Chains A and B, each alone.
Chain A
Amino acid sequence: MMHNTAMPAQAEEHPRAVELKDMAVGESGSVVRICAVGELGRRIRDMGIIPGSRLCVTGRAPLNDPLTIRLRGYTLSLRGSEAAYILVEPD
């Protein structure tokens, strides 16, 4: 028996999309694309960041890096160099 699955959002052209690392604290948006592959890509997806995920930038560490985002009801921190691989369309 096959289970129903929702069609995942596809990465189309998103002219307004920016890299997550460039978003300001307090800004929120929807993920449109994860450009990372391999281990980083896997880790990002394991933590629930996939195309279509809603997230909000909640803070930056004292030295500006890493940054924290809130998604799926929890808080995640990641480095700017990693956040650069996540394309987000801000609201």
Chain B
Amino acid sequence: MPENFISIALAGNPNCGKSTIFNAITGAHQHVGNYPGITVEKKEGFAASDGQSVKVIDLPGTYSLTAYSLEERVARRVLLNERPNVVIDIADAGTLDRHLYLAVQLMEMGIPFVLGLNMMDEARQKGISINLELLSKRLGIPVVPTVGRTGEGVRELLAVACRTAREHAGHPWRPRRLSYGPDLDVALVEMVSLIEKQSFLTALFPARWIALKYLEADSEIIRIGRGADEKTSSALENMVQEVTGHLSQTLETYPEAVISDYRYGYISALLRDGVVSSPENARNRMAFSEKIDKVLTQRLIGPIVMLAVMYLMYKVTFSVGEIPMGWIQAFFGWLAEFVDGIMPDGLVKSLVVSGVIEGVGGLFGFVPLIVVVFLFIAVLDDSGYMARIAYMLDRIFHFFGLHGCSVMPFIISGGIAGGCAVPGIMATRTLRSSKERLATILTAPFFSCGAKLPVFLLISAVFFPERGPLVMFLLTLAGWLVALLIARLLRSTVISGAGTPFVMELPPYRLPTLKGVLIHTWERTFAYIKKAGTVVLAITIVIWAAMTYPRLPAAESAKYASDEEMQMAALRHSIAGRIGVALENVTQYAGFDWRGNIALIGGFGAKEVIVSTLGTAYSLSGNEEENNENLIQRIREDQHWRDNTPAAISFLLFVLLYSPCFMAVVVIAKEAGSWRWGLFSVIFNTLVAFAASVVIYQVGRLL
């Protein structure tokens, strides 16, 4: 053990309040969710207990420590590779027996751990009483009751964990020797003796645990084993095969099932004879949740309420979010004007005003919208309703080759207009199947994210004045339709194959805490602001450069009567302008002229850029707010756009569907694990968008 600090890993099932305990221990800001498996990332925090420094690692919430899901693999790797000094296993006191399944697996691993019995208040309310002393004695480990929400017992839990770490310091892990019945016990003994004799992986894992994992047919451990010592590994595999054959003949079962049966048997033996006593009316909270579910997931009322909730979110986001959005836009408008006034004319000014202030200002303008969207999502998530949405929609999503859990990433991405694909794609980590996850990642950019909204607003203001909300709603629906159809297409072609079990816990409804919701919202918003501050700033500058260089020769620029006309000519002369003009050959079929093309190229950097680029392309300059009105006027009068409704619809669709912005592509590549998928989304989405636009435009012109 390092002398300076004790490392503690926090383990536990999803929805057991583990994150709340983590916050209480470290004071660190992080998400507390009700959605199974929301914390996939490894989170660390520091704390002190009686002068002892402590490092706490928050493991992903898992039900088990098999190699079933990403979360489980992550949790297990941290335990085995980083070897924390002690584990705190958090269990929901109200559903102790299921939670102990994880504890038993920690015992099998042999890692020192203590049990935190969380949500003792809820358990008490239910009338459940737990004989802590007896439980601790039978488990052979310390048990500390806690209430994460109030912080009750958390200090003591930490102190007990530190004490346990000190007691076990310097000792090797001692796997608990559970019995798994006569057949497996014999096999285990033989396997362990072989493992020890050959020193097979024993530097990495305890021998008995290795044998157990081989019996469980754990793909990850077997892979490591084969890599380390092919011969011993195959000898072990033969032994497993033998006992498997025997079990299947005599009991019609297989080792993995037998092992888990005995684990549960062990748990019920632990809890027997008055460790847990619950009166007949103990199902208080569950009964309460069930009553709510009777209404909220009812055949008819359920979907109506769900749609109403989504529509309400949508409405409130815009009516409330727009107010501070106006302030921020006004501020950046003022800032641009101010800088415009104090700086000498020239390239630097153009870079600062058109590049930096407009680019970053555009992104910050969306912060209020994002705050409201994330506030809603945090409330839905923490209350337990999000899991019900997944439950109600799974039937539909499953049909399209997705998973009920794809709902949340879609909603965050802009399934309710105003999201952002970046956090949306990150939210796909809750999905357990790589195939469904990949399909969700690749289709998330099709939604009406917040950055596309100003374009939609602009174009609707030009062509469909007074009908903006309807256009927005139809585009949101179009996003859903395309995402689902493309998901189905992808799942039956490039990412075909069977899906993952849906088997998902519906956590009891809980009133979200203000603190939890605020932390959650702040974290997501901060991630967005960071994006504004870094990558997007860089890309804005690159795109600014593409739209500025090469510059118009002085002789040329003298020809233009007004500054605005000169700027337009300069834009046409720039790299972006030339590409835009060249692309007209192709994009004419979809009804875009060179101005639209440049704007769309700029939109690859960030979709917000589309509107400001259109502004430049229509030779506007200066104050943004006046500009919007002017731009609407300009586009309305432009000969390309005039009375060209098919071109407008085609442009809207293209903006909705074409290549994800640069930032989203980076995240796609990272989350999908390969740059190939990032590149795929750029090309594939643009092709999809182009196909849709051409069809709409050509059909529209015929009508």
Contacts and interface: CB of A to CB of B under 8 A. Distances in A.
B177 A3 contact: yes
B503 A47 contact: yes
Contacts, number: 156
Contacts of A8: 258, 261-262, 264-265
B396 interface: yes
A74 B92 CA distance: 11
A6 B508 contact: no
Q: Find the residue from A58, A64, A74, A78 having the highest chain B CB count within 10 A.
A: A74
A66 B302 CA distance: 14
Given A3-B179, A8-B261, A48-B264, A61 B506 contact: no
Given A1-B177, A75-B505, A76-B504, A61 B395 contact: yes
Interface in B291-320: 293-294, 297-300, 302-303
Nearest to A74: B95
B349 interface: no
Interface residues of B, number: 57
Interface string B91-115: 0001101100100000000000000
B503 A76 contact: yes
Interface string B187-213: 000000000000000000000000000
B253 interface: yes
A57 to B, nearest CB: 12
A1 B177 CA distance: 7
A46 B63 CA distance: 6
A6 B252 contact: no
Contacts of B470: none
Contacts of B506: 68, 75-77
Given A41-B256, A43-B501, A51-B261, A62 B299 contact: yes
B97 to A, nearest CB: 6
Contacts of B251: 10
Contacts of B94: 73
B392 A6 contact: no
B295 to A, nearest CB: 11
A75 B268 CA distance: 19
B398 interface: yes
A59 B503 contact: no
Contacts of A78: 501-504
A79 B261 contact: no
Contact of B95 (A5, A10, A43, A72): A72
B98 A74 contact: yes
Contacts of A66: 391, 394-395, 404, 502
B95 A73 contact: yes
B253 A4 contact: no
A13 to B, nearest CB: 11
Q: Find the residue from A6, A58, A62, A82 having the highest chain B CB count within 10 A.
A: A62
A67 to B, nearest CB: 10
A48 B265 contact: no
Contact of B68 (A6, A42, A70): A42
Contacts of A68: 293, 297, 391, 506
Q: Find the residue from B178, B251, B395 having the highest chain A CB count within 10 A.
A: B395
Interface string B241-270: 000000000011110111011101110110
Contacts of A77: 391, 394, 502-506
A58 B508 CA distance: 14
B565 interface: no
A75 B508 contact: yes
Contacts of A37: 254, 257
A70 B286 contact: yes
B297 A62 contact: yes
B329 interface: no
Contacts of A63: 392, 395-396
B98 A48 contact: yes
Nearest to B505: A76
B265 A7 contact: yes
A64 B501 CA distance: 17
B505 A39 contact: no
A2 B265 contact: no
Contacts of B256: 41-42
A46 B258 CA distance: 13
B176 interface: yes
Contacts of A11: 252-253
B460 interface: no
Nearest to A8: B261
Nearest to B301: A62
A91 to B, nearest CB: 17
A73 B392 contact: no
A45 B257 contact: yes
Nearest to B94: A73
B350 interface: no
B391 A61 contact: yes
A42 B177 contact: no
Nearest to A34: B257
A70 to B, nearest CB: 7
B289 interface: yes
B503 A44 contact: yes
A65 to B, nearest CB: 5
A75 B251 CA distance: 30
B501 A79 contact: yes
Contacts of A41: 256-257
B97 A3 contact: no
A43 B95 CA distance: 18
Contacts of B294: 59
Contacts of B66: 42, 46
Nearest to B294: A59
A3 B254 contact: no
A42 to B, nearest CB: 6
A6 B290 CA distance: 32
Nearest to B262: A5
A24 interface: no
30 contacts: A5-B179, A5-B262, A6-B268, A6-B269, A10-B251, A37-B257, A39-B68, A42-B66, A42-B260, A45-B257, A45-B260, A45-B261, A46-B63, A46-B260, A48-B97, A51-B261, A59-B290, A60-B299, A62-B299, A64-B395, A68-B293, A68-B297, A72-B95, A73-B95, A75-B286, A75-B506, A75-B508, A78-B504, A79-B501, A79-B502
5 closest A-B pairs (Cβ-Cβ)? A8-B261, A63-B395, A6-B265, A46-B64, A45-B260
Given A42-B68, A59-B293, A61-B395, 4 more contacts: A6-B269, A48-B101, A63-B392, A75-B506
